[in-house]
Structure formats: C-alpha cells, structure tokens
Chains A and B, each alone.
Chain A
Amino acid sequence: NAGVTQTPKFQVLKTGQSMTLQCAQDMNHEYMSWYRQDPGMGLRLIHYSVGAGITDQGEVPNGYNVSRSTTEDFPLRLLSAAPSQTSVYFCASSYSFVAKDGYTFGSGTRLTVV
C-alpha cells in the first residue's frame, strides 16, 4: 500500500516550458486535490476532483490544468511555466466526503521555474 505517490520530487523548468506533475493513489479514494505551498501563505487549493471525470477549480487555478480519467490518477499540468509558479506542490486524497481520517498527502514536488 503506497498511499499517495507524487513524481517527480524535484524539478527545474525554464520559463515557458510545460510539464506534468504526477499524482497516483492506490487507496481507491474518490476525492483528490492539488495544492501549492508558498512561504507565509499556507497551502492553497489549485484544482480538485470528487471522482473520475469530475474536476473543479480551487483558489488559484490559473496556469494549471487537470483531468481525472481514472480513480487512481490526478495529474497536474503546467501549460507555460512562469517564475511565479515556483513552489512546493502537494497532492492529497481522501476516501469519503467526510474524511474523518483526514486527507492523505503525497510527499510533495519542489518546482523551480527559472
């Protein structure tokens, strides 16, 4: 049982490049979400999904795309990287809406855009 797996752990991009951050969970969780963490700003929700085929925007969706074709995977795409997207990105999932056992987080991806 791997939990929530994020790849890569580190990435350096040049401005204007595109890339996909991968998130996979093997817990049959319906709810998945992406956050970015910046100093002094906590974790901000980028996009989330309540099930395969259903996604919605969070607080800071601009510059990011998501899709949810399977229950297991929820990739985050950066369309044209900008230095403002330098951040630590976390993927999180939960089994149920109530999530009394909390959301399970991946270990994060540290992205630097130069």
Chain B
Amino acid sequence: AQKITQTQPGMFVQEKEAVTLDCTYDTSDPSYGLFWYKQPSSGEMIFLIYQGSYDQQNATEGRYSLNFQKARKSANLVISASQLGDSAMYFCAMREGNYGGATNKLIFGTGTLLAVQP
C-alpha cells in the first residue's frame, strides 16, 4: 500500500539559507510520481515540483530541487536561499498506478511547517 512519511512536524531556517524537508515513501509499484506542495497560511495548495520514478535526473524548479534517492525511497525537497515568503506548510505526495487504470491515487504526507526567520 502507498505510504508517505514526513518526520519533521516543524522546522526553522534563517533567511537566505538552504533548507531540506524530508520525505520518505513506500510503494510496490514501479511506476509512481512524487509531488511537493506548499500551503501558506491563506490555505491554498500550490504545486512546487514533480519527480517521476523513471526520471534519471533530479527535478529542479527555480529555488526548489528534489533530492530523489530511489533505492532509499526518499524524495527530499531542498529550498535554496530561503525567503520570508517561504514560511508555510509543505506537503509531500505520491501518485501510483498504471495508465488508464482505476488505481490512480494521490496520497499526502502529514506535512512540515517551515518558519523562515529574518
């Protein structure tokens, strides 16, 4: 069964420093996708980055990068040069299933609350 684990309930980081948010996952399906979302205090869910299980390189999107270690089943989010606006809840999520199948589910971890300090 799918499982996503985020072990850091909360983290602090100084402005302009880099921070790594941890995410581990468990699946028996060789085809899956990993996502990170940001939820600011206003409540909306903002998509940050995607990594496919067959992607050879780690995904990057601006200041966000995903440290994908397939053998360890980890998909950590790295935010470089933190900004005050990065303060938010961050969720890791995983989708597994086969194309056209009815098993397509997106499952979320419990989230990490990041506070960026000036």
Contacts and interface: CB of A to CB of B under 8 A. Distances in A.
Given A33-B106, A41-B110, A42-B110, A88 B99 contact: no
B44 A103 contact: no
A43 B104 contact: no
A75 interface: no
Interface in A89-114: 90, 92, 97-105, 107-108
A26 to B, nearest CB: 18
Contacts, number: 67
A103 B102 contact: no
A92 B45 contact: yes
A42 B100 contact: no
A54 B43 CA distance: 29
Residue with the highest number of chain A CB atoms closer than 10 Å, among B33, B97, B101: B33
Q: Which 4 interchain pairs have the tightest Cβ spacing?
A: A102-B47, A105-B45, A42-B110, A43-B108
Interface of A: 31, 33, 35, 40-45, 48, 50, 54, 56, 58-59, 88, 90, 92, 97-105, 107-108
